[in-house]
Structure 1
Amino acid sequence: MRFRDWATRVILISLVFLALSVALLIGEANKLKTNTTTSEPAAIAWSPYPQAKLQSDQIIQEKSQNLLKSPKNNGQSRFRYHTTEAFSKYKPRYLVAAVHPSNYGERYIQDANGVPLNNQPIIVIHETSNSASSAVNFFQTPHEDENMQASYHAIITLDGSVIYLVPPQYRAFGAGNSVFEGLDGAETVETNANLPPSVNNFAYHVSLETPPDGRGNNFLKSHSGYTEAQYHSLAWLIAQSQVPGDRITTHKAVDRSGERVDPLSFDFDKFRGLLDTYRQVNPVYSALPQ
Protein backbone atom coordinates (compact mmCIF):
# COMPACT_ATOMS: atom_id res chain seq x y z
CA MET A 1 0.00 0.00 0.00
CA ARG A 2 1.35 3.32 -0.99
CA PHE A 3 2.02 5.85 1.75
CA ARG A 4 -0.48 8.32 0.27
CA ASP A 5 -3.33 5.73 0.36
CA TRP A 6 -2.46 4.73 3.92
CA ALA A 7 -2.38 8.34 5.09
CA THR A 8 -5.74 9.05 3.42
CA ARG A 9 -7.38 6.13 5.22
CA VAL A 10 -5.92 7.22 8.59
CA ILE A 11 -7.28 10.71 8.06
CA LEU A 12 -10.75 9.39 7.12
CA ILE A 13 -10.83 7.10 10.16
CA SER A 14 -9.76 10.00 12.40
CA LEU A 15 -12.51 12.20 10.99
CA VAL A 16 -15.09 9.46 11.68
CA PHE A 17 -13.93 9.17 15.30
CA LEU A 18 -13.94 12.93 15.66
CA ALA A 19 -17.53 13.11 14.33
CA LEU A 20 -18.61 10.39 16.77
CA SER A 21 -16.94 12.22 19.66
CA VAL A 22 -18.68 15.48 18.78
CA ALA A 23 -22.02 13.68 18.56
CA LEU A 24 -21.48 12.09 21.98
CA LEU A 25 -20.54 15.45 23.51
CA ILE A 26 -23.66 17.10 22.06
CA GLY A 27 -25.78 14.27 23.44
CA GLU A 28 -24.26 14.61 26.92
CA ALA A 29 -24.74 18.38 26.84
CA ASN A 30 -28.41 17.97 25.94
CA LYS A 31 -28.82 15.37 28.66
CA LEU A 32 -27.19 17.69 31.21
CA LYS A 33 -29.41 20.56 30.07
CA THR A 34 -32.52 18.40 30.44
CA ASN A 35 -31.49 17.23 33.92
CA THR A 36 -30.76 20.77 35.03
CA THR A 37 -34.14 22.00 33.82
CA THR A 38 -36.09 19.24 35.51
CA SER A 39 -34.19 19.61 38.77
CA GLU A 40 -34.81 23.34 39.18
CA PRO A 41 -38.16 23.08 41.04
CA ALA A 42 -36.59 20.82 43.67
CA ALA A 43 -33.87 23.40 44.26
CA ILE A 44 -36.30 26.19 45.13
CA ALA A 45 -35.96 27.01 48.83
CA TRP A 46 -39.09 26.77 50.96
CA SER A 47 -40.01 30.17 52.37
CA PRO A 48 -41.24 30.35 55.98
CA TYR A 49 -43.73 33.04 54.97
CA PRO A 50 -47.07 32.52 53.21
CA GLN A 51 -46.50 32.33 49.47
CA ALA A 52 -47.94 34.88 47.06
CA LYS A 53 -49.98 32.35 45.13
CA LEU A 54 -52.54 29.63 45.71
CA GLN A 55 -50.94 26.38 46.80
CA SER A 56 -52.59 22.98 46.99
CA ASP A 57 -52.08 20.73 49.97
CA GLN A 58 -50.48 18.13 47.71
CA ILE A 59 -47.83 20.53 46.34
CA ILE A 60 -46.89 21.75 49.81
CA GLN A 61 -46.62 18.26 51.27
CA GLU A 62 -44.63 16.91 48.31
CA LYS A 63 -42.17 19.81 48.53
CA SER A 64 -41.77 19.30 52.28
CA GLN A 65 -41.27 15.54 51.89
CA ASN A 66 -38.68 16.00 49.13
CA LEU A 67 -36.68 18.44 51.23
CA LEU A 68 -37.01 16.25 54.32
CA LYS A 69 -35.38 13.40 52.37
CA SER A 70 -32.56 15.59 51.07
CA PRO A 71 -29.29 15.20 53.02
CA LYS A 72 -28.26 18.71 51.95
CA ASN A 73 -30.94 20.52 53.95
CA ASN A 74 -30.46 19.15 57.49
CA GLY A 75 -32.01 21.69 59.92
CA GLN A 76 -33.66 23.65 57.11
CA SER A 77 -35.71 20.59 56.14
CA ARG A 78 -37.43 20.17 59.49
CA PHE A 79 -40.76 21.70 58.62
CA ARG A 80 -43.01 22.05 61.61
CA TYR A 81 -46.37 22.36 59.86
CA HIS A 82 -48.25 20.83 56.96
CA THR A 83 -51.64 21.87 55.64
CA THR A 84 -54.79 19.78 56.02
CA GLU A 85 -57.65 18.53 53.90
CA ALA A 86 -59.72 21.48 55.12
CA PHE A 87 -57.06 23.81 53.69
CA SER A 88 -57.30 22.08 50.30
CA LYS A 89 -61.07 22.44 50.22
CA TYR A 90 -61.14 26.13 51.06
CA LYS A 91 -60.74 28.23 47.90
CA PRO A 92 -60.84 31.98 48.57
CA ARG A 93 -60.95 34.44 45.71
CA TYR A 94 -57.56 36.00 45.18
CA LEU A 95 -56.12 39.00 43.37
CA VAL A 96 -52.68 40.47 42.83
CA ALA A 97 -52.09 44.24 43.06
CA ALA A 98 -48.63 45.63 42.33
CA VAL A 99 -47.24 48.02 44.95
CA HIS A 100 -45.08 50.99 43.94
CA PRO A 101 -41.36 50.20 44.57
CA SER A 102 -41.03 53.23 46.86
CA ASN A 103 -43.32 51.51 49.36
CA TYR A 104 -41.33 48.33 49.97
CA GLY A 105 -37.72 47.13 49.91
CA GLU A 106 -35.24 44.30 50.20
CA ARG A 107 -34.87 42.28 53.39
CA TYR A 108 -31.50 43.11 54.93
CA ILE A 109 -28.91 40.56 56.06
CA GLN A 110 -27.15 43.20 58.20
CA ASP A 111 -28.49 46.07 60.26
CA ALA A 112 -27.47 49.71 59.87
CA ASN A 113 -24.33 49.04 61.93
CA GLY A 114 -23.24 46.03 59.88
CA VAL A 115 -24.30 43.45 62.46
CA PRO A 116 -25.56 40.20 60.83
CA LEU A 117 -29.30 39.57 61.26
CA ASN A 118 -30.80 36.19 62.14
CA ASN A 119 -34.29 36.99 63.44
CA GLN A 120 -36.83 34.25 62.93
CA PRO A 121 -39.96 35.32 60.97
CA ILE A 122 -43.04 36.76 62.61
CA ILE A 123 -46.51 37.54 61.25
CA VAL A 124 -48.16 40.83 62.16
CA ILE A 125 -51.95 41.19 61.81
CA HIS A 126 -53.31 44.67 61.00
CA GLU A 127 -56.50 46.33 59.83
CA THR A 128 -56.75 48.88 57.04
CA SER A 129 -58.59 51.68 58.95
CA ASN A 130 -60.50 52.38 55.71
CA SER A 131 -61.57 50.35 52.67
CA ALA A 132 -59.24 47.78 51.10
CA SER A 133 -59.30 49.69 47.80
CA SER A 134 -58.23 52.87 49.58
CA ALA A 135 -55.24 51.07 51.10
CA VAL A 136 -54.25 49.54 47.77
CA ASN A 137 -54.44 52.95 46.09
CA PHE A 138 -52.15 54.42 48.74
CA PHE A 139 -49.61 51.62 48.33
CA GLN A 140 -49.63 52.08 44.56
CA THR A 141 -48.89 55.81 44.90
CA PRO A 142 -45.18 56.84 44.84
CA HIS A 143 -43.95 58.25 48.15
CA GLU A 144 -40.57 59.97 48.25
CA ASP A 145 -41.03 60.91 51.91
CA GLU A 146 -39.84 57.91 53.93
CA ASN A 147 -42.35 58.73 56.67
CA MET A 148 -45.19 58.21 54.18
CA GLN A 149 -44.02 54.91 52.72
CA ALA A 150 -46.26 52.01 53.73
CA SER A 151 -47.47 48.61 52.57
CA TYR A 152 -48.65 45.15 53.60
CA HIS A 153 -47.83 41.81 52.09
CA ALA A 154 -51.54 40.98 51.82
CA ILE A 155 -55.03 42.29 52.60
CA ILE A 156 -58.11 40.19 53.41
CA THR A 157 -61.28 41.95 52.21
CA LEU A 158 -64.71 41.78 53.84
CA ASP A 159 -65.81 39.00 51.46
CA GLY A 160 -62.69 36.95 52.24
CA SER A 161 -60.78 37.76 49.06
CA VAL A 162 -57.00 37.66 49.43
CA ILE A 163 -55.18 40.57 47.78
CA TYR A 164 -51.49 39.81 47.37
CA LEU A 165 -49.41 43.00 47.44
CA VAL A 166 -45.72 42.70 48.32
CA PRO A 167 -44.05 39.32 47.62
CA PRO A 168 -43.01 37.67 50.89
CA GLN A 169 -39.30 37.72 50.07
CA TYR A 170 -39.44 41.53 50.24
CA ARG A 171 -39.77 43.84 53.24
CA ALA A 172 -43.17 45.50 53.46
CA PHE A 173 -43.37 48.76 55.40
CA GLY A 174 -46.17 47.69 57.72
CA ALA A 175 -44.87 48.92 61.07
CA GLY A 176 -42.89 51.99 62.03
CA ASN A 177 -41.43 52.23 65.53
CA SER A 178 -41.97 48.62 66.65
CA VAL A 179 -40.58 45.78 68.79
CA PHE A 180 -41.61 42.13 69.02
CA GLU A 181 -41.56 40.67 72.53
CA GLY A 182 -41.11 36.92 72.12
CA LEU A 183 -39.57 33.94 73.86
CA ASP A 184 -36.12 35.22 72.88
CA GLY A 185 -36.76 38.65 74.37
CA ALA A 186 -37.20 41.98 72.59
CA GLU A 187 -36.53 41.88 68.83
CA THR A 188 -36.27 44.83 66.47
CA VAL A 189 -33.95 45.92 63.64
CA GLU A 190 -32.56 49.31 62.69
CA THR A 191 -32.09 49.41 58.92
CA ASN A 192 -32.19 53.18 58.50
CA ALA A 193 -30.33 55.51 60.87
CA ASN A 194 -32.91 58.24 60.18
CA LEU A 195 -35.91 56.14 61.27
CA PRO A 196 -36.82 54.25 64.47
CA PRO A 197 -36.02 50.51 64.51
CA SER A 198 -38.85 48.19 63.49
CA VAL A 199 -39.87 44.58 63.00
CA ASN A 200 -40.32 45.00 59.23
CA ASN A 201 -37.14 43.16 58.28
CA PHE A 202 -38.38 39.85 59.70
CA ALA A 203 -42.15 40.40 59.55
CA TYR A 204 -44.92 39.34 57.19
CA HIS A 205 -47.70 41.94 57.34
CA VAL A 206 -51.29 40.92 56.62
CA SER A 207 -54.24 43.24 57.12
CA LEU A 208 -57.98 42.78 57.53
CA GLU A 209 -60.25 45.27 55.77
CA THR A 210 -61.97 47.45 58.37
CA PRO A 211 -65.78 47.11 58.52
CA PRO A 212 -67.77 50.22 57.48
CA ASP A 213 -68.65 51.20 61.06
CA GLY A 214 -64.95 51.32 61.96
CA ARG A 215 -63.83 53.77 59.29
CA GLY A 216 -63.09 57.48 59.55
CA ASN A 217 -62.62 57.63 63.31
CA ASN A 218 -59.14 57.14 64.75
CA PHE A 219 -60.40 57.18 68.34
CA LEU A 220 -62.67 54.14 68.21
CA LYS A 221 -62.05 51.49 70.87
CA SER A 222 -64.03 48.79 69.04
CA HIS A 223 -66.28 48.12 66.05
CA SER A 224 -68.53 45.36 64.71
CA GLY A 225 -65.56 43.09 64.00
CA TYR A 226 -64.57 40.98 61.01
CA THR A 227 -66.56 38.62 58.83
CA GLU A 228 -66.47 34.83 58.96
CA ALA A 229 -64.92 34.86 55.50
CA GLN A 230 -62.12 37.13 56.72
CA TYR A 231 -61.24 34.84 59.62
CA HIS A 232 -61.23 31.78 57.37
CA SER A 233 -59.11 33.43 54.67
CA LEU A 234 -56.67 34.82 57.24
CA ALA A 235 -56.20 31.38 58.79
CA TRP A 236 -55.95 29.77 55.34
CA LEU A 237 -53.25 32.25 54.27
CA ILE A 238 -51.16 31.90 57.43
CA ALA A 239 -51.53 28.10 57.31
CA GLN A 240 -49.21 28.22 54.29
CA SER A 241 -46.40 29.53 56.51
CA GLN A 242 -43.96 27.85 58.87
CA VAL A 243 -44.34 30.62 61.46
CA PRO A 244 -45.28 29.17 64.89
CA GLY A 245 -48.25 30.47 66.84
CA ASP A 246 -46.11 32.24 69.42
CA ARG A 247 -44.65 34.43 66.67
CA ILE A 248 -48.02 35.55 65.29
CA THR A 249 -48.89 38.94 66.75
CA THR A 250 -50.77 42.19 66.12
CA HIS A 251 -49.82 45.71 65.13
CA LYS A 252 -50.98 46.95 68.53
CA ALA A 253 -48.67 44.51 70.32
CA VAL A 254 -45.52 45.48 68.40
CA ASP A 255 -46.16 49.24 68.13
CA ARG A 256 -43.99 51.52 70.25
CA SER A 257 -45.36 54.83 68.98
CA GLY A 258 -48.46 54.56 71.15
CA GLU A 259 -50.65 55.31 68.12
CA ARG A 260 -51.57 51.88 66.71
CA VAL A 261 -54.39 49.83 68.23
CA ASP A 262 -55.27 47.56 65.31
CA PRO A 263 -56.78 45.14 64.70
CA LEU A 264 -59.73 46.31 66.79
CA SER A 265 -62.22 43.72 68.04
CA PHE A 266 -60.03 40.85 66.80
CA ASP A 267 -60.96 37.41 68.18
CA PHE A 268 -57.59 35.70 68.57
CA ASP A 269 -59.12 32.49 69.99
CA LYS A 270 -61.37 32.15 66.96
CA PHE A 271 -58.46 32.75 64.60
CA ARG A 272 -56.23 30.20 66.35
CA GLY A 273 -58.97 27.59 66.23
CA LEU A 274 -59.32 28.03 62.47
CA LEU A 275 -55.55 28.03 62.00
CA ASP A 276 -55.39 24.65 63.75
CA THR A 277 -58.05 23.44 61.31
CA TYR A 278 -55.99 24.46 58.26
CA ARG A 279 -52.56 23.31 59.41
CA GLN A 280 -51.17 20.73 61.81
CA VAL A 281 -47.79 19.84 63.26
CA ASN A 282 -45.92 17.56 60.89
CA PRO A 283 -45.45 14.11 62.55
CA VAL A 284 -42.04 13.83 60.84
CA TYR A 285 -40.96 17.10 62.46
CA SER A 286 -42.13 15.90 65.89
CA ALA A 287 -40.12 12.69 65.50
CA LEU A 288 -36.88 14.49 64.64
CA PRO A 289 -34.44 15.48 67.43
CA GLN A 290 -34.89 19.15 68.24
Structure 2
Amino acid sequence: MTDITLNPTQPDGLNGWYVTAVVASFQVTDVDSDPVNITTYYDINGFGIQVYDPLNPPVISSERPNNYIEYWSNDTINEEFPHHRVEGIKIDLTAPVITLYKPSALIPKGRVLINGTATEYTSGSGIERVTIQLNEEEIYDTTFNGEPRVWFEWNFTADLGETYDIFVEVWDKAGHSIQERKTVQCPDYGLYDTGYIYWFNNPKIGPVNLLVTLGLSIAVTQDSLYVVLPGVSTEATQVQFVATQTFLKKNLTFWDRNLSDGCSVELLVPFGIYK
Protein backbone atom coordinates (compact mmCIF):
# COMPACT_ATOMS: atom_id res chain seq x y z
CA MET A 1 0.00 0.00 0.00
CA THR A 2 1.36 3.44 -0.95
CA ASP A 3 0.27 6.54 0.97
CA ILE A 4 0.96 10.12 -0.04
CA THR A 5 1.51 13.20 2.12
CA LEU A 6 1.38 16.69 0.66
CA ASN A 7 3.16 19.67 2.19
CA PRO A 8 1.36 21.94 2.86
CA THR A 9 -1.20 19.38 3.92
CA GLN A 10 -4.05 21.75 3.05
CA PRO A 11 -4.29 24.66 0.61
CA ASP A 12 -2.53 27.64 2.19
CA GLY A 13 -4.36 30.23 0.09
CA LEU A 14 -8.04 31.03 -0.30
CA ASN A 15 -10.78 29.15 -2.13
CA GLY A 16 -8.84 25.88 -2.21
CA TRP A 17 -5.72 27.35 -3.83
CA TYR A 18 -2.14 26.71 -2.83
CA VAL A 19 0.03 29.83 -2.93
CA THR A 20 3.27 27.86 -2.51
CA ALA A 21 4.65 24.87 -4.37
CA VAL A 22 3.45 21.50 -3.05
CA VAL A 23 5.94 18.81 -1.99
CA ALA A 24 4.85 15.15 -2.11
CA SER A 25 6.27 12.31 -0.01
CA PHE A 26 5.30 8.64 0.06
CA GLN A 27 5.08 5.89 2.67
CA VAL A 28 4.89 2.27 1.54
CA THR A 29 3.68 -0.67 3.61
CA ASP A 30 3.70 -4.32 2.50
CA VAL A 31 3.52 -7.27 4.87
CA ASP A 32 5.45 -9.42 2.40
CA SER A 33 8.31 -7.06 1.51
CA ASP A 34 10.87 -4.92 3.30
CA PRO A 35 10.17 -1.23 2.46
CA VAL A 36 13.77 -0.82 1.28
CA ASN A 37 13.04 -3.34 -1.45
CA ILE A 38 10.02 -1.46 -2.75
CA THR A 39 10.29 1.14 -5.51
CA THR A 40 7.75 3.95 -5.77
CA TYR A 41 6.99 5.74 -9.01
CA TYR A 42 5.11 8.96 -9.71
CA ASP A 43 3.97 11.06 -12.65
CA ILE A 44 3.09 14.77 -12.31
CA ASN A 45 0.67 16.16 -14.90
CA GLY A 46 1.63 13.48 -17.42
CA PHE A 47 5.16 14.84 -17.86
CA GLY A 48 6.79 11.44 -17.40
CA ILE A 49 7.32 8.65 -14.87
CA GLN A 50 9.93 9.31 -12.18
CA VAL A 51 11.39 7.13 -9.41
CA TYR A 52 10.71 8.49 -5.96
CA ASP A 53 13.78 9.59 -3.98
CA PRO A 54 13.03 10.58 -0.36
CA LEU A 55 16.05 12.89 -0.42
CA ASN A 56 14.74 14.69 -3.49
CA PRO A 57 10.95 14.53 -3.23
CA PRO A 58 8.73 15.64 -6.10
CA VAL A 59 7.56 19.25 -6.18
CA ILE A 60 4.32 20.29 -7.86
CA SER A 61 4.69 23.92 -8.93
CA SER A 62 2.79 24.44 -12.19
CA GLU A 63 0.46 27.42 -11.86
CA ARG A 64 -2.87 25.93 -12.92
CA PRO A 65 -6.14 24.78 -11.35
CA ASN A 66 -5.87 21.10 -12.34
CA ASN A 67 -2.49 19.72 -11.28
CA TYR A 68 -2.41 16.00 -10.52
CA ILE A 69 0.08 13.42 -9.32
CA GLU A 70 -0.27 9.70 -10.05
CA TYR A 71 1.76 7.24 -7.96
CA TRP A 72 2.25 3.50 -7.32
CA SER A 73 4.87 1.04 -6.10
CA ASN A 74 6.50 -2.21 -7.23
CA ASP A 75 7.87 -4.84 -4.85
CA THR A 76 10.98 -7.00 -5.22
CA ILE A 77 9.26 -9.48 -7.53
CA ASN A 78 8.08 -6.58 -9.67
CA GLU A 79 4.50 -6.93 -8.53
CA GLU A 80 2.83 -3.61 -9.26
CA PHE A 81 0.66 -2.16 -6.51
CA PRO A 82 -2.57 -0.32 -7.40
CA HIS A 83 -2.20 3.15 -8.93
CA HIS A 84 -3.48 6.17 -7.03
CA ARG A 85 -4.09 9.69 -8.23
CA VAL A 86 -4.56 13.01 -6.46
CA GLU A 87 -6.26 15.54 -8.73
CA GLY A 88 -7.40 19.13 -8.64
CA ILE A 89 -4.30 20.57 -6.97
CA LYS A 90 -4.78 24.30 -7.59
CA ILE A 91 -1.58 26.35 -7.47
CA ASP A 92 -1.23 30.13 -7.87
CA LEU A 93 2.20 31.56 -7.04
CA THR A 94 1.86 34.98 -8.66
CA ALA A 95 0.11 38.19 -7.68
CA PRO A 96 -2.25 39.82 -10.19
CA VAL A 97 -1.29 42.86 -12.27
CA ILE A 98 -2.74 46.38 -12.17
CA THR A 99 -2.69 48.66 -15.21
CA LEU A 100 -3.85 52.17 -14.26
CA TYR A 101 -4.79 54.16 -17.38
CA LYS A 102 -6.32 57.33 -15.97
CA PRO A 103 -5.88 59.92 -14.60
CA SER A 104 -2.69 61.58 -15.79
CA ALA A 105 -0.30 63.27 -13.36
CA LEU A 106 -1.87 66.68 -14.04
CA ILE A 107 -5.66 66.89 -14.02
CA PRO A 108 -8.17 69.65 -14.79
CA LYS A 109 -10.73 71.04 -12.40
CA GLY A 110 -14.00 69.14 -12.25
CA ARG A 111 -14.86 65.54 -13.01
CA VAL A 112 -11.80 63.28 -13.13
CA LEU A 113 -11.93 59.66 -14.27
CA ILE A 114 -10.01 56.83 -12.60
CA ASN A 115 -9.86 53.64 -14.66
CA GLY A 116 -7.72 50.64 -15.46
CA THR A 117 -7.56 46.87 -15.59
CA ALA A 118 -6.75 44.09 -13.14
CA THR A 119 -5.33 40.94 -14.73
CA GLU A 120 -4.68 37.40 -13.49
CA TYR A 121 -3.76 35.20 -16.43
CA THR A 122 -0.99 33.05 -14.97
CA SER A 123 -2.79 30.42 -12.90
CA GLY A 124 -6.45 30.86 -13.68
CA SER A 125 -7.55 31.73 -10.16
CA GLY A 126 -8.97 35.01 -11.49
CA ILE A 127 -9.76 38.39 -9.95
CA GLU A 128 -11.65 38.47 -6.66
CA ARG A 129 -11.85 42.14 -5.63
CA VAL A 130 -10.76 45.68 -6.54
CA THR A 131 -10.77 48.70 -4.23
CA ILE A 132 -9.87 52.36 -4.83
CA GLN A 133 -8.99 54.86 -2.13
CA LEU A 134 -8.83 58.61 -2.68
CA ASN A 135 -6.80 60.41 -0.02
CA GLU A 136 -7.22 57.34 2.23
CA GLU A 137 -11.02 57.28 1.82
CA GLU A 138 -12.46 54.24 0.06
CA ILE A 139 -14.54 55.28 -2.94
CA TYR A 140 -14.80 51.97 -4.84
CA ASP A 141 -15.10 48.35 -3.69
CA THR A 142 -16.25 45.69 -6.16
CA THR A 143 -16.18 41.89 -5.99
CA PHE A 144 -15.75 39.82 -9.16
CA ASN A 145 -16.28 36.18 -10.11
CA GLY A 146 -12.76 35.06 -10.96
CA GLU A 147 -12.51 36.65 -14.40
CA PRO A 148 -8.95 36.71 -15.79
CA ARG A 149 -9.22 40.42 -16.65
CA VAL A 150 -11.59 43.04 -15.28
CA TRP A 151 -12.13 46.74 -15.94
CA PHE A 152 -12.57 49.16 -13.05
CA GLU A 153 -13.74 52.77 -13.27
CA TRP A 154 -14.81 55.55 -10.94
CA ASN A 155 -14.71 59.35 -10.88
CA PHE A 156 -14.26 62.19 -8.44
CA THR A 157 -14.40 65.99 -8.49
CA ALA A 158 -11.08 67.84 -8.43
CA ASP A 159 -10.55 71.37 -7.12
CA LEU A 160 -7.89 73.85 -8.22
CA GLY A 161 -4.66 73.72 -6.25
CA GLU A 162 -5.36 70.31 -4.72
CA THR A 163 -3.27 67.13 -4.75
CA TYR A 164 -4.91 63.70 -4.71
CA ASP A 165 -3.50 60.35 -3.62
CA ILE A 166 -5.04 57.44 -5.56
CA PHE A 167 -4.48 53.97 -4.12
CA VAL A 168 -5.70 50.87 -5.99
CA GLU A 169 -5.58 47.38 -4.48
CA VAL A 170 -6.43 44.12 -6.25
CA TRP A 171 -6.91 40.58 -4.88
CA ASP A 172 -7.12 37.32 -6.80
CA LYS A 173 -9.14 34.25 -5.81
CA ALA A 174 -6.08 32.58 -4.32
CA GLY A 175 -5.52 35.44 -1.87
CA HIS A 176 -2.64 37.29 -3.53
CA SER A 177 -2.88 41.07 -3.58
CA ILE A 178 -1.08 43.91 -5.30
CA GLN A 179 -1.24 47.66 -4.84
CA GLU A 180 -0.56 50.68 -7.00
CA ARG A 181 -0.42 54.30 -5.86
CA LYS A 182 -0.47 57.45 -7.97
CA THR A 183 -0.38 61.08 -6.88
CA VAL A 184 -2.07 63.57 -9.19
CA GLN A 185 -2.32 67.35 -9.02
CA CYS A 186 -4.94 69.84 -10.10
CA PRO A 187 -2.72 72.92 -10.55
CA ASP A 188 -4.11 76.43 -10.17
CA TYR A 189 -2.14 77.59 -13.20
CA GLY A 190 -2.09 76.69 -16.89
CA LEU A 191 -5.78 75.79 -17.12
CA TYR A 192 -7.66 77.92 -19.61
CA ASP A 193 -11.08 77.95 -21.23
CA THR A 194 -11.00 77.26 -24.97
CA GLY A 195 -11.38 80.34 -27.19
CA TYR A 196 -10.07 83.03 -24.83
CA ILE A 197 -6.98 85.24 -24.60
CA TYR A 198 -5.47 85.63 -21.13
CA TRP A 199 -3.45 88.90 -21.20
CA PHE A 200 -1.17 89.25 -18.18
CA ASN A 201 -3.36 89.64 -15.09
CA ASN A 202 -6.20 91.35 -16.94
CA PRO A 203 -9.63 89.75 -17.31
CA LYS A 204 -9.77 87.19 -20.08
CA ILE A 205 -10.66 88.40 -23.59
CA GLY A 206 -13.16 86.59 -25.73
CA PRO A 207 -14.38 84.24 -26.80
CA VAL A 208 -12.44 84.88 -30.02
CA ASN A 209 -14.04 83.17 -33.02
CA LEU A 210 -10.74 81.99 -34.54
CA LEU A 211 -9.58 80.45 -31.27
CA VAL A 212 -12.95 78.80 -30.75
CA THR A 213 -12.75 77.31 -34.26
CA LEU A 214 -9.22 76.04 -33.67
CA GLY A 215 -10.04 74.76 -30.20
CA LEU A 216 -7.19 76.80 -28.68
CA SER A 217 -6.64 79.50 -26.09
CA ILE A 218 -3.73 81.91 -25.61
CA ALA A 219 -2.09 83.17 -22.44
CA VAL A 220 0.51 85.94 -22.28
CA THR A 221 2.78 86.58 -19.27
CA GLN A 222 5.76 88.88 -18.78
CA ASP A 223 8.13 86.55 -20.60
CA SER A 224 6.08 83.80 -22.25
CA LEU A 225 3.32 83.16 -24.73
CA TYR A 226 1.25 80.04 -24.08
CA VAL A 227 -0.81 78.41 -26.79
CA VAL A 228 -3.04 75.96 -24.96
CA LEU A 229 -3.86 72.82 -26.95
CA PRO A 230 -7.13 70.90 -26.89
CA GLY A 231 -7.12 67.45 -25.30
CA VAL A 232 -4.32 65.12 -26.34
CA SER A 233 -5.05 61.40 -26.73
CA THR A 234 -3.82 59.18 -23.89
CA GLU A 235 -2.16 57.01 -26.55
CA ALA A 236 0.02 59.91 -27.74
CA THR A 237 3.75 59.65 -27.05
CA GLN A 238 4.94 62.94 -28.52
CA VAL A 239 3.56 66.29 -29.74
CA GLN A 240 4.88 68.44 -32.58
CA PHE A 241 4.69 72.25 -32.40
CA VAL A 242 5.09 74.30 -35.60
CA ALA A 243 5.61 78.07 -35.72
CA THR A 244 5.10 79.49 -39.23
CA GLN A 245 6.64 82.84 -40.17
CA THR A 246 3.76 84.74 -41.76
CA PHE A 247 5.68 86.49 -44.53
CA LEU A 248 8.59 84.10 -45.16
CA LYS A 249 6.32 81.05 -44.98
CA LYS A 250 9.07 79.22 -43.10
CA ASN A 251 8.14 76.52 -40.58
CA LEU A 252 10.07 76.12 -37.34
CA THR A 253 9.38 72.74 -35.74
CA PHE A 254 9.70 71.76 -32.07
CA TRP A 255 8.90 68.49 -30.25
CA ASP A 256 7.82 67.45 -26.78
CA ARG A 257 8.72 63.77 -26.54
CA ASN A 258 7.81 63.28 -22.86
CA LEU A 259 4.09 63.70 -22.21
CA SER A 260 4.10 62.30 -18.68
CA ASP A 261 3.73 65.84 -17.26
CA GLY A 262 1.58 67.27 -20.04
CA CYS A 263 2.77 68.68 -23.36
CA SER A 264 4.76 71.91 -23.67
CA VAL A 265 7.75 73.29 -25.51
CA GLU A 266 9.97 76.37 -25.46
CA LEU A 267 9.72 78.00 -28.88
CA LEU A 268 13.11 79.60 -29.51
CA VAL A 269 12.25 81.60 -32.63
CA PRO A 270 13.61 84.81 -34.18
CA PHE A 271 11.70 88.04 -33.83
CA GLY A 272 8.84 88.22 -36.29
CA ILE A 273 5.20 87.57 -36.95
CA TYR A 274 4.07 83.97 -36.66
CA LYS A 275 0.99 81.86 -36.91
Q: TM-score, normalised by structure 1?
A: 0.21
Tell me which protein shows more strand as a share of its residues. 2
**Structure ID, larger Rg:** 2
Q: TM-score, normalised by structure 2?
A: 0.22
